[in-house]
């Protein structure tokens, strides 16, 4: 790969020690660390122009409104949406998906209709559809996986039918790190008159995304997985569809006019943004996008591939390591490695690694149907970002090599 840059110095938290050791943070799939520029952007908002946006006739409120609306324009360009009013701010990807399910789903799904999702979906892109299908008497169908963890091409071809109204699939699985062919699935969905919802929570931080090229009808992600603060998320929706949906939350700011017995709703995007919005989060999101644009997605993809290619042969040489989703050719994988250590519960693995300063995720990763499909209760997950290094991988693997010994097993 081209020259490796040291980005760690930009991240205050990565300078910390944990259990007397320099921290190695490998839980970026859960949330990423924040660079100084993002922290500063939030501090300057709260220290310099905090006010309620869209409401005040005074200068501070106008400045807060400008920051908020600049963030919308920034996100529009970042994911190449056609209009800025197609960008709706939410709390996170979960809220965005619930908004689609309860607003679009409740008003467009009838008894007997079908919704198709993948078995690898995060609960946020599964439970809302499951509940809407139950409420409406619709059928929830699953695309299962090939042996290598990729979505079954046969299922994509056969499960999406004339009865399908909604197809909802993640662009990248949060457990396996595999990139799903969402543009191809969108074409299939559109050919039967269904709409395509893409969960971009694990793709937007790691690759350039163009919602128009994907032809996604809805696309969602969370700011906190891409260097931004927690509490700001995005829902992109095609203008035509958003206009054809009822509001999800009601209250201040989402109305044009209210009378005792009826309300006229505001046009997009305000119609879906009830109540006081997260302007501090929007300030952080602008800084995060600017930072990511400077780093560049070519570089981010290169680093993550390099780290996966560096780690995998070493992991495969450890006879007690079981890997998931690591067989397929690596061109379609982001920096996520999911594994188990034979005879050891994933929580014990994570605790033993933590004692050596290495933070990974262990559990069902909010993907219990996938765990059931893989025949596992839980797994461990190391997830990289562009600030991770080969030295981080060495520290992780060294700590991992001690796990079975600590518990009295032969190593
Ligand atoms: C693929 C995927 N979808 C949705 C979510 C939910 O994100 P949030 O908790 O920020 O709403 C996550 C979080 O891990 C995820 O990985």
Q: Which domains does the chain have, with CATH numbers?
A: 8-30+296-406 (3.90.1150.10), 39-292 (3.40.640.10)
How far apart, in whole angstroms, are the C-alpha atoms of residue 178 and residue 185? 15
How far apart, in whole angstroms, are the C-alpha atoms of residue 236 and residue 23? 35
* Band of residue 1 on the pLDDT scale cut at 50, 70, 90: confident
How far apart, in whole angstroms, are the C-alpha atoms of residue 210 and residue 158? 27
Per-residue model confidence (pLDDT) at position 329: 56
The encoded tokens of residue 278 equal 């997260």
CB 265 within 8 A of CB 247: yes
How far apart, in whole angstroms, are the C-alpha atoms of residue 146 and residue 5? 37
Query: How do residues 370-406 score in pLDDT, each as one tens digit?
Result: 999 999 999 999 999 999 999 999 999 999 999 999 9
The encoded tokens of residue 267 equal 């046009």
Residue 331 has pLDDT above 90, yes or no: no
Query: How do residues 282-314 score in pLDDT, each as one tens digit?
Result: 999 999 999 999 999 999 999 999 999 999 999
Ligand 1 centroid vs 307 CA: distance in angstroms? 23
CB 297 within 8 A of CB 272: no
Contacts of 260 (CB under 8 A, 6+ apart): none
What is the average pLDDT value for the chain, to the nearest integer? 97
Residue 330 has pLDDT above 90, yes or no: no
This model's pTM is above 0.95: yes
How far apart, in whole angstroms, are the C-alpha atoms of residue 223 and residue 39? 13
Catalytic residue among 133, 326, 366, 380: 366
The encoded tokens of residue 60 equal 């501070």
For range 197-224, the mean pLDDT: 98
Per-residue model confidence (pLDDT) at position 19: 94
Q: Closest Cα to residue 187, out of 213, 151, 219?
A: 213
Task: Find the radius of gyration of the CA atoms of the chain.
Answer: 22
- Give nearest CA residue, ligand 1 atom 16: 174
Per-residue model confidence (pLDDT) at position 206: 98
Per-residue model confidence (pLDDT) at position 328: 64
Q: How many residues does the chain have?
A: 411
Q: Closest Cα to residue 232, out of 89, 405, 393?
A: 89
Per DSSP, what are the bridge partners of residue 234?
89, 221
Residue 55 has pLDDT above 90, yes or no: no
The encoded tokens of residue 240 equal 């035509």
- Give nearest CA residue, ligand 1 atom 12: 201
State the DSSP string of 34-66: --HHHHHHHHHHHHH----TTT-SSHHHHHHHH
Query: How do residues 77-97 score in pLDDT, each as one tens digit?
Result: 999 999 999 999 999 999 999
* Band of residue 40 on the pLDDT scale cut at 50, 70, 90: very high
Per-residue model confidence (pLDDT) at position 89: 98
Ligand 1 pocket test: pick from 30, 93, 325 the residue with the most ligand atoms within 8 Å of its Cβ: 93
* Secondary structure element (H or E) that encloses residue 75, with its range: helix 59-78
Q: Which residues have C-beta atoms less than 6 Å from ligand 1?
A: 92-94, 122, 124-125, 170, 174, 199, 201-202, 222
Residue 343 has pLDDT above 60, yes or no: yes
Ligand 1 centroid vs 214 CA: distance in angstroms? 20
Please state whether the peptide bond connecting residue 269 to the residue before it is cis, i.e. omega within 30 degrees of 0: yes
Buried b (16+ CB within 10 A) or exposed e, 19-42: eeeebbbbbbbebbbbbeebbebb
Q: Closest Cα to residue 386, out of 308, 285, 316?
A: 308
Whether 326 sits among the annotated catalytic residues: the reply is: no
Residue 410 has pLDDT above 90, yes or no: no
Ligand 1 centroid vs 219 CA: distance in angstroms? 13
């Amino acid at each position: 790969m081209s020259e490796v840059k040291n980005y760690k110095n930009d991240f205050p938290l990565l300078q910390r020690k944990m259990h007397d050791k320099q921290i190695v943070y490998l839980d970026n799939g859960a949330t990423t660390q924040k660079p100084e520029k993002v922290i500063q952007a939030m501090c300057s908002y709260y220290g310099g122009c905090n006010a309620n946006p869209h409401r005040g006739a005074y200068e501070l409120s106008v400045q807060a409104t400008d920051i908020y609306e600049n963030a919308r324009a920034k996100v529009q360009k970042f994911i190449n949406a056609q209009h800025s009013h197609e960008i709706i701010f939410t709390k996170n990807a979960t809220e965005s998906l619930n908004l689609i399910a309860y607003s679009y789903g409740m008003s467009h799904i009838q008894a007997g209709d079908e919704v198709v999702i993948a078995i690898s979906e995060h609960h946020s892109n599964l439970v809302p559809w499951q509940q809407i299908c139950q409420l409406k008497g619709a059928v929830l169908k699953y695309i299962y996986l090939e042996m290598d963890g990729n979505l079954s091409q046969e299922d994509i071809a056969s499960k999406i039918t004339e009865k399908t109204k909604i197809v909802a699939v993640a662009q990248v699985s949060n457990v396996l790190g595999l990139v799903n062919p969402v543009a191809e699935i969108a074409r299939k969905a559109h050919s039967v008159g269904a709409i395509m919802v893409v969960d971009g929570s694990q793709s937007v931080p790691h690759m350039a995304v163009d919602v128009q090229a994907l032809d996604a009808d809805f696309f969602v992600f969370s700011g906190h997985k891409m260097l931004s603060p927690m509490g700001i998320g995005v829902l992109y929706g095609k203008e035509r569809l958003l206009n054809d949906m009822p509001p999800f939350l009601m209250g201040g700011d989402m109305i044009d006019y209210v009378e005792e017995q009826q309300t006229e709703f505001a046009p997009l995007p305000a119609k879906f943004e009830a109540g006081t919005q997260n302007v501090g989060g929007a300030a952080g999101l602008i800084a995060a996008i600017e930072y990511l644009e400077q780093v560049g997605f070519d570089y981010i993809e290169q680093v993550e591939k390099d780290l996966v290619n560096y780690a995998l042969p070493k992991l495969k040489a450890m006879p007690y390591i079981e890997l998931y989703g690591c067989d397929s050719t690596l061109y379609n994988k982001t920096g996520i490695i999911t594994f188990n250590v034979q005879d050891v519960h994933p929580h014990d693995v994570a605790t033993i690694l933590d004692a050596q300063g290495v933070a990974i995720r262990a559990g069902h990763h909010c993907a219990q149907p996938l765990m059931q499909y893989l025949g596992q209760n839980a797994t461990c997950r190391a997830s990289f970002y562009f600030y991770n290094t080969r030295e981080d991988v060495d520290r992780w693997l060294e700590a991992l090599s001690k796990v079975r010994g600590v518990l009295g097993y032969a190593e």
